[in-house]
Structure 1
Amino acid sequence: MLFIGLIALLIALPILGIAAAWLNLDAHAVDVLMQQMHTVLPGYLATSAWLAIAVTIGVVLVGAATAVTVSLFEFRGRRFLEWALLLPMAMPAYVSAYAYTDFLQYSGLVQTSLRNVIPGMRLPEIRNLSGAIFLFIFTLYPYTYLLARSALNERGLHLMEAARLLGTPLAARIRRVALPLARPALMAGAALALMETLADYGVSAYFGLTTFTTGIYKAWMVMDDRIAAAQLASVLLGIVAVLLWVERQGQKKLRFSSVRGQRGDGSESRLEPLRGMHRNVAWLVCGLPIFLGFVLPVLILLQLMWAEFGHNAAANNATNGDSDFGSVSFDLLRYAGWAWNSFRFGTIAACLAVALALALSFAQRSHGLPRFKAMLLRFITHVASMGYAIPGSVIAVGILLPIAWLQVIAPHNTIGIWLTATSLGIVYAYLVRFSAVAVQSIDAGYARIPTSYDEAARTLSSSRWRIASRLHAPLLWRSMATAFLMVFVDVVKELPATLLLRPFNTDTLAVIAHNLARDERLGEAALPALTIVAVGLIPVLLVTRALSRR
């Protein structure tokens, strides 16, 4: 239990570090707080509030419309749209921001074409609050779509059929049966989308928005004010805690009895058929989010990458008079270094997260524990599961703040060097942030292993280690592989924690894509951005495969 307690302490340390900032509230800290309340804090609250309200409305509308369309209606292409609607999950919002900025800028293709038709025509700038809301909606709506679709598939077909037999019109059936049934799922999905929105740094920084994440980064890295950064991080942590509570309340309401019909039992015949104009509307409702959230950004990035390679080749020919792609090769060598850093961090963090998840899940499975130890295990697992809801910038500040205190108390200690000048600090942040993903996957695998297997092994005098290694491990390899891939992908996409904690002269694909896009070198940012998208497709394919087996 000492080992499990140490794990809990390590996972909870960043949160405790943020909370401890309020224990030493001296006169200087109060002055900093009052100054922020009169200067930057109202702007952070206003921007975050507008983002929260608009993104909530947007993801609920898009998620509800798409879920109702593919769950309750039958039309050509429905099966393709069912899984294609998940594709925007692979597209980080900050990558979409880079693509749309190039596409819609004054010298871009759209505005140039419009000026050729209508001289003097100019579109509004996308790098603002409205543009950020648009990007978040079409990259985060899969959260609401996926949960609402599951809720409707659970009981929606049968209840819609019962309402139809009672003579209820189609519009009334959707309004009075389908939408109330999906409401808890939509609220839970909206809470998840909001947590992702508040945790985002790439879009906010690139668009110049005054959000909490950009404020935390600016307070720590630009103004070198750890007190201000801690105060902002604590406010953001409180907001996320409320959203996490709302999401869990919504998840509780999703637990209704399953009366879903299996394939081949006639349930498919109860889908409302769509033809002609109605089928075209269904395609528009489902196809537009896919196009705006995934297809168009990918096409833009591919065009940018192709143009960048062509420009490098032309410059090389003009300089050397031959066609050896020297400059392109140099860029590819640097790209290989960035990709290796992302792969290295992702692999180390994923292996440690899987090991941690196995230890926690196996400890919870043990029988005969005293009541206090059983309650402590549940509490530790709950703490480990909270990390995924905490923004990376908050975790980074929660790690850096105790280091700063230690440097004041013991100036000659080397803990700060080990955590900031090596990979230890950033891997630790990843472990705090993404252990919950691994724990959920391993728990799901353990739920499929009957406890009678363990009891039979114990009657044969098998040790706990032998049960875990020889019995559980072969049965859990799929769950372990899934947990590894999910954590690996999340690490590759993570930006704010990586920016704050990466070792010196060490860049990942996410960091370099952000830095290049910030410097308006979008062509060079296209390749690392596309690599992040390609890696992000892995969990989408896993989810699609799992849903197809249900």
Structure 2
Amino acid sequence: MMISGLWRISYWMINGAFLLPVGIVFALAFWPEAGGMLALWQQGMPLYLLHTTILVCGAVALSLLIGLPAAWVMAYYRFPGKRGVAWALCLPLAMPAFLMADFYADMLGQHGMLWSLFDLPAFSEESAHSRTLSGASVVLALAFYPYVYLPVRHALESQPPHWLQAAQLLKLTPRQVFWRLSFPLVRPVIGMGAMLVAVEALNDYGTARLLALPTLTTRLIDAGVLQGDTQAVAHWTLSLLPFVVLLTWLGLRFARQQRQNTFPGITDYIVKPELTAGKARLVTLVCWGLALLAFGLPLGRLLYWQLANIRDGWNATLLDALLNSLTMASLAAVILCAMMMPFLLFIRLAGLRAGRVSFALAQWGYVFPAAALATGIAMPLIALDNGLRSLAMLAEMPFVPPLFSSVWLIMVLVYCAKFSRFVLEPLSVSMANIPSILDQASATAGLTLWQRGARVYFPLLKPQVMMGVVILFFEGMKELNAAFLFRTFGWETLPTYVFRLAADNLLHWGALPALCLVVIGGVPMLWFQWLWKGNNR
């Protein structure tokens, strides 16, 4: 079937929308009047680079250490209380990392409750700095290990059951089954999970800022918020470029390998071995203890503070922040999912080669700093509004209000560029699994391309579309970095509002905003757990 020019134009317009903010940021970074990388070096970039590298590597290593054993046990063994443990291991997804960092800094810091309670000796400045760096790595690992645990567990459960039956007949030990059979197949999934943890740790601002840990991301956002210097934002984004390129390349490589190792349509079931009573108790204790450290204790403190100050609840600022977050996250989820359907139709007709550019750009947008994306998107929209205002003045027209540079539009576009990979990748995989004979049948029936998408593809892709909407809503509600740039204009979202309370040590006067953020983050997590049938095995 011939592809009309309209579809080609829309395809390249969407790809160009990903490239435009990146190109603007790089143009600012290499502007002739800019100070260049020498100025960054004089501002302490080596120290920021060292902290960022240690923080990312530590978070990835600890996340693998936690997530891989948990995924292995939950995928291959039966034990009493497994369903409850499966829910508990996902709870840290609902707790923002900076709230966890605020809790442990308050409890275990040099002037924290534990030091005051037991009158422990103070430690030196060098020791305190080392403890802060290692503590931040632990906090990020506790917050992000589900990015390793969930996909690896799903991949292990999706492996062909007859392979495990053959391994049992050969009397292989569980360790031999993992290293000889499972690990080579799930290695791309492990790499993808590690990449996700690295991206989240690299782009984390709240945890590093609350712990007073200077990183490249904190310096980048502070340049935009405190100084209002767009060139400084571009320069510090350039310092993050090696991380961005490496993580983008790794993400594309692991995604390609993961698609090759996918086993769709497996419905057979194998009886899994049951853990002994002692091992079952140990696994249950460790998993629930992990959930307690990453979710239960911070949540308990928030509940205690809210009950102690029950009168401090809703106010106008909190309501505005909540409505801003809900509206923008919902709009971004609906708009992006609506855009992806015709986009995927073009990729299906044009072939896989046309989709590679889109996959690469979506991966790049996810790794690219959100604050830099916001800067690159805001500048052309502001320039467009200024141009329209100038034309209106020349034509002696009344005052023209801002049409394109509103914070709402900028943030929705940032969410679409940042989280498009969460919709594009699963939808593209599901689209590729649709038999090509349906194309021939719909063409024989005389259906247009729009009718084919509405009557044939959308009903088959509806579960993935709904999942994409939920993921985008979840990620949009948690986004802190991009929204933090607009706090100087008196504009708040729920994450920025909660972070401001935590940074000013005001959460104990009313933890309701933080509880709202945790509850909203927990709903998608519960929905995903309900979808997975592996919990009931």
Q: Output the TM-score relative to the length of structure 1.
A: 0.82
Question: How many Å separate the matches in 2 of 1:257 and 1:385?
Answer: 20
Q: C-alpha offsets along residues 28-51 of structure 1, whole Å, 9 cap, x if unaligned?
A: 42x442121133211110111111
Question: How many Å separate the matches in 2 of 1:235 and 1:180?
Answer: 34
Question: How many Å separate the matches in 2 of 1:59 and 1:165?
Answer: 33
The letter for the 1-side match of 2:271 is E
Q: C-alpha offsets along residues 456-492 of structure 1, whole Å, 9 cap, x if unaligned?
A: 3333333323333344444444333222222112111
1:428 to 381, 405, 413: 413
**Aligned position for 1:34:** 38
Question: How many Å separate the matches in 1 of 2:223 and 2:534?
Answer: 48
Residues 129-168 of structure 1 correspond to what in structure 2 (within 5 A)? 129-155=133-159
Alpha carbons of 1:452 and 1:347: their partners in 2 closer, same or farther (altered >3 Å)? same
**CA displacement at 1:230 relative to structure 2:** 0.6
**Secondary structure, in 3 states, of the residue corresponding to 1:431?**
helix
Contact 1:406 1:413 in 2 (8 A): no
Alpha carbons of 1:424 and 1:154: their partners in 2 closer, same or farther (altered >3 Å)? closer
Question: How many Å separate the matches in 1 of 2:384 and 2:48?
Answer: 30
Question: How many Å separate the matches in 1 of 2:469 and 2:157?
Answer: 29
2:454 to 460, 464, 469: 469
Question: How many Å separate the matches in 2 of 1:35 and 1:536?
Answer: 40
**Aligned position for 2:24:** 17
Residues 352-367 of structure 1 correspond to what in structure 2 (within 5 A)? 352-366=335-349
**CA displacement at 1:159 relative to structure 2:** 6.1
Alpha carbons of 1:204 and 1:74: their partners in 2 closer, same or farther (altered >3 Å)? same
Q: How many residues align?
A: 516
**Aligned position for 2:3:** none
**CA displacement at 1:109 relative to structure 2:** 5.8
**Residue 268, structure 1, aligned to residue 271, structure 2:** yes
**Aligned position for 2:428:** 443
**Residue 100, structure 1, aligned to residue 83, structure 2:** no
Alpha carbons of 1:440 and 1:174: their partners in 2 closer, same or farther (altered >3 Å)? closer
Question: How many Å separate the matches in 1 of 2:353 and 2:195?
Answer: 28
Contact 2:244 2:364 in 1 (8 A): no
**Residue 278, structure 1, aligned to residue 282, structure 2:** no
Question: How many Å separate the matches in 1 of 2:356 and 2:368?
Answer: 19
**Aligned position for 1:295:** 296
The letter for the 2-side match of 1:499 is F
Alpha carbons of 1:162 and 1:362: their partners in 2 closer, same or farther (altered >3 Å)? closer
Segment drifting more, 398-407 vs 234-243: 398-407
Alpha carbons of 1:541 and 1:465: their partners in 2 closer, same or farther (altered >3 Å)? same
Question: How many Å separate the matches in 2 of 1:378 and 1:120?
Answer: 57
Question: How many Å separate the matches in 2 of 1:227 and 1:299?
Answer: 43
The letter for the 2-side match of 1:433 is K
1:66 to 49, 67, 70: 70
Q: C-alpha offsets along residues 121-164 of structure 1, whole Å, 9 cap, x if unaligned?
A: 77997992222111111111112212332343344976676566
Alpha carbons of 1:297 and 1:259: their partners in 2 closer, same or farther (altered >3 Å)? same
Contact 1:63 1:186 in 2 (8 A): no
Question: How many Å separate the matches in 2 of 1:345 and 1:129?
Answer: 34
**CA displacement at 1:419 relative to structure 2:** 5.1
Question: How many Å separate the matches in 1 of 2:110 and 2:239?
Answer: 38
Q: C-alpha offsets along residues 176-210 of structure 1, whole Å, 9 cap, x if unaligned?
A: 66555554432321111000111111112222221
**Aligned position for 2:194:** 190
Question: How many Å separate the matches in 1 of 2:290 and 2:309?
Answer: 28
**CA displacement at 1:504 relative to structure 2:** 3.4
Segment drifting more, 120-129 vs 347-356: 120-129
1:349 to 327, 332, 335: 332
Q: C-alpha offsets along residues 62-93 of structure 1, whole Å, 9 cap, x if unaligned?
A: 11221222223332222332343222222221
Alpha carbons of 1:295 and 1:190: their partners in 2 closer, same or farther (altered >3 Å)? same
1:520 to 502, 505, 510: 505
Q: Which consecutive residues of structure 1, in runs of 5 or more, have no partner in the other structure?
A: 314-327
Alpha carbons of 1:468 and 1:277: their partners in 2 closer, same or farther (altered >3 Å)? closer
**Aligned position for 2:15:** 8
Segment drifting more, 204-213 vs 388-397: 388-397
Residues 451-462 of structure 1 correspond to what in structure 2 (within 5 A)? 451-462=436-447
Alpha carbons of 1:242 and 1:177: their partners in 2 closer, same or farther (altered >3 Å)? same
Question: How many Å separate the matches in 1 of 2:449 and 2:263?
Answer: 36
Q: C-alpha offsets along residues 286-306 of structure 1, whole Å, 9 cap, x if unaligned?
A: 223222222222222222222
**Aligned position for 2:374:** 396
Alpha carbons of 1:356 and 1:303: their partners in 2 closer, same or farther (altered >3 Å)? same
The letter for the 2-side match of 1:342 is S
Contact 1:52 1:194 in 2 (8 A): yes
**Aligned position for 2:49:** 45
Contact 2:99 2:502 in 1 (8 A): no
**CA displacement at 1:393 relative to structure 2:** 1.7
Q: C-alpha offsets along residues 3-36 of structure 1, whole Å, 9 cap, x if unaligned?
A: 2222221222111122323553x3x42x442121
Contact 2:330 2:473 in 1 (8 A): yes
**Secondary structure, in 3 states, of the residue corresponding to 2:505?**
coil
The letter for the 2-side match of 1:344 is T
**CA displacement at 1:525 relative to structure 2:** 6.1
The letter for the 2-side match of 1:354 is C
**CA displacement at 1:365 relative to structure 2:** 2.9
The letter for the 1-side match of 2:483 is T
Alpha carbons of 1:262 and 1:477: their partners in 2 closer, same or farther (altered >3 Å)? closer
For the aligned residue pairs, the C-alpha RMSD in angstroms reads 3.6
The letter for the 1-side match of 2:284 is W
**Secondary structure, in 3 states, of the residue corresponding to 2:16?**
helix
**Secondary structure, in 3 states, of the residue corresponding to 2:420?**
helix
The letter for the 1-side match of 2:14 is I
Question: How many Å separate the matches in 2 of 1:336 and 1:174?
Answer: 50
Alpha carbons of 1:129 and 1:22: their partners in 2 closer, same or farther (altered >3 Å)? same
Segment drifting more, 507-516 vs 531-540: 531-540
**Aligned position for 1:230:** 234
**Secondary structure, in 3 states, of the residue corresponding to 1:507?**
coil
Contact 2:321 2:494 in 1 (8 A): yes
Contact 1:153 1:260 in 2 (8 A): no
Q: C-alpha offsets along residues 380-415 of structure 1, whole Å, 9 cap, x if unaligned?
A: 454234322323122123234556888999995899
The letter for the 2-side match of 1:76 is P
Alpha carbons of 1:153 and 1:476: their partners in 2 closer, same or farther (altered >3 Å)? closer
Q: C-alpha offsets along residues 275-323 of structure 1, whole Å, 9 cap, x if unaligned?
A: 24322322233223222222222222222222222xxx4xxxxxxxxxx
Question: How many Å separate the matches in 2 of 1:22 and 1:87?
Answer: 40
Contact 1:72 1:156 in 2 (8 A): no
**Secondary structure, in 3 states, of the residue corresponding to 2:532?**
helix
**Secondary structure, in 3 states, of the residue corresponding to 1:75?**
coil
Q: Which consecutive residues of structure 2, in runs of 5 or more, have no partner in the other structure?
A: 1-7, 393-399
The letter for the 1-side match of 2:335 is L
**Percent identity at matched positions?**
27
Question: How many Å separate the matches in 1 of 2:321 and 2:264?
Answer: 49
